[in-house]
Structure 1
Amino acid sequence: MPFPNYPEKYRYEAVLTAAKRLAYRRQQGHVPAVTPPVAVIFCYQPDVLQYAARKYWGRRVDGFAGELYLLRRTNRRVGVVGKFGVGAPVTAVLLEDLIAWGSRQFFLLGLAGGLQPTQKSGDLIIVTRAIRDEGTSWHYLPPESAVSPPGDLTERMAARLTEVGKPYTLGTTWTTDAPYRETAPEIAHYRERGVFTVEMETAAFFAVAHAHHATAAAGLVIADTLTEHDWQMAPGTRLLQDTLRGCLDTAVEVLAA
């Protein structure tokens, strides 16, 4: 049986679109009467979202899932959004809504499981490729096993991280919908093929951006680690928070330039 069930659905226009829904909500007075930011950072950890809102003088804007802040220290060119949930479907819907609103550059910042023995908790991976083992991306793009980030934001982030001396690794992530079904054979399969991380959103994030000719990149901080034999959580959260905040600061700088 093919997936999606209707073959080549990505060739056809959707009946309900984010743009149509935005127009309806605007008629109802539910769309903020502010200029949309050029770029938005997706923050999956609430404390990182609050850090960004405090440090960059965030102004709360209603009308979207979760909490969206426009960062006044960037002249509102950059926004941060979080507390909207986890997983590919909700990420895709929110990304669609923000694209329809007018934003064009997006950075995903979150935690991931580590698959390589050379990596450790707190390491930052800048994603160059996402394996499509979730369902959402297949509704946007032709069948391919993986998707790359659209646009040049990945290169810009890597260049700036190098300039400021923040360590990172370029690499592939495995995106899945089922974190409690990451089996030993899969973990070995992807580790042997050089995949660094496993998480739940990146492939869909890239796919939606591709479909709308937007720019997207992703930074993943390794928290827990997985092998064929065991799962181990990070020994503490301080290092994770430091890496997440450092990556966020760099993303704000790059996107505001």
Structure 2
Amino acid sequence: MSPQRRTALSTLLPGKHTLPAVTDPAEHAAYVLTRHPGSTLATTAGAVLVHQGRLLRQALADRPEALALDGWASADLHLISHRGHDVVLCSRLGAGAPATALVTEQLTALGVPAVISLGTAAALVPELHAGEAVLCEKALRGEGTSRHYLAPGYFAHPDPHLTAALAAALDACGTRWRRGASWTTDALYRESAAEAQLYARHGILTVEMEAAALFAVGRHRGLPTAAAFAVADSLVNRTPRTDSPDTTAALEQLLTAAFDALTNTSVSPAPPGADTVVSRHNEQREASGG
């Protein structure tokens, strides 16, 4: 193969992000409908992506009424009720940008109106410690997914209104948090000190694996997205993850704030006793003696 052909095949087509795709996430939604008639997430306040198993277990333990939506997406989905609204809790979607993009596409096709991603991150600056919360204002595109959705550039950006709602909810919860940029990379075990130092000098606070892809899909699909992290470890004078109780506490605060942000930005608050999917399920369970 000639050098010219090798070069051509090693790069994306110019304007790749503008090209129509052969596959369409609407096909996924149509397939789900054949197995689960009436399946839609359009009536929910939004979805929260949860990337840590311990946070999922605690969330479900606190909400025994959660309704599993088996087979709706390439992840586990549960419907919960928060302030009279249905909210989707999305978990076990896999690590990294491609998994987040795939599941977010499926949720969008099913009609979900907004998505907030919560996870852990490593600090790039010495003043960030385990258990501190960071609201992501933009994500450095160090992964390979966002270029399929966005024009070439350094950063992917969340929805400003949803991010502002999440910031307000964090304040209302009494959470100590800071706002900053994050570096998203697919290659967890190829994060170098040189990169960490370079990005820290440019004001980037954390490194994680999903935010840039989430924001890229959101921008491409017109879906409001936001992300926040609990610091779990550090790349500065390498501090490995220790499952700090402070990190767990921060994740729980982030989850509460995410639920509040989604329901506060809904069109209108649901009145007491509103007919939600979860409330209907509970009525059916009680009627059957379950």
TM-score (norm 1): 0.92
> What does residue 38 of structure 2 align with?
33
Contact 1:130 1:175 in 2 (8 A): yes
SS in structure 2 at match of 1:196: strand
| RMSD, aligned α-carbons | 1.7
Letter in 2 for 1:23: A
Q: 1:47 aligns with which of 45, 48, 54?
A: 54
> For 1:107-256, what aligned pairs fall within 5 Å after superposition?
107-227=116-236, 230-256=237-263
How many residues are matched? 253
Aligned CA distance change for structure 1 residues 120 and 221 (closer, same or farther; 3 Å): same
Contact 2:75 2:103 in 1 (8 A): no
Deviations 1:85-125 (A, max 9, x none): 10011110000000000002110000011111111011100
Distance in 2, Cα, partners of 1:198 & 1:249: 23
User: Structure 1: which 5+ residue stretches go unaligned?
Assistant: none
SS in structure 1 at match of 2:125: coil
Distance in 2, Cα, partners of 1:139 & 1:211: 10
Contact 1:4 1:139 in 2 (8 A): no
Aligned CA distance change for structure 1 residues 108 and 208 (closer, same or farther; 3 Å): same
Shift of 1:76: 4.9
Aligned CA distance change for structure 1 residues 10 and 59 (closer, same or farther; 3 Å): same
Letter in 1 for 2:53: P
> What does residue 272 of structure 2 align with?
none
Contact 1:127 1:217 in 2 (8 A): yes
SS in structure 1 at match of 2:49: strand
- 1:89 equivalent to 2:94? Answer no
SS in structure 2 at match of 1:198: strand
User: Structure 2: which 5+ residue stretches go unaligned?
Assistant: 1-6, 265-290
Letter in 1 for 2:245: R
SS in structure 2 at match of 1:166: coil
Contact 1:125 1:170 in 2 (8 A): yes
Distance in 2, Cα, partners of 1:135 & 1:247: 27
Q: Percent identity?
A: 32
Letter in 1 for 2:45: V
Shift of 1:75: 4.0
Distance in 2, Cα, partners of 1:46 & 1:198: 19
Aligned CA distance change for structure 1 residues 117 and 145 (closer, same or farther; 3 Å): same
Shift of 1:66: 2.4
Structure of higher CA gyration radius:
2
Distance in 1, Cα, partners of 2:147 & 2:243: 36
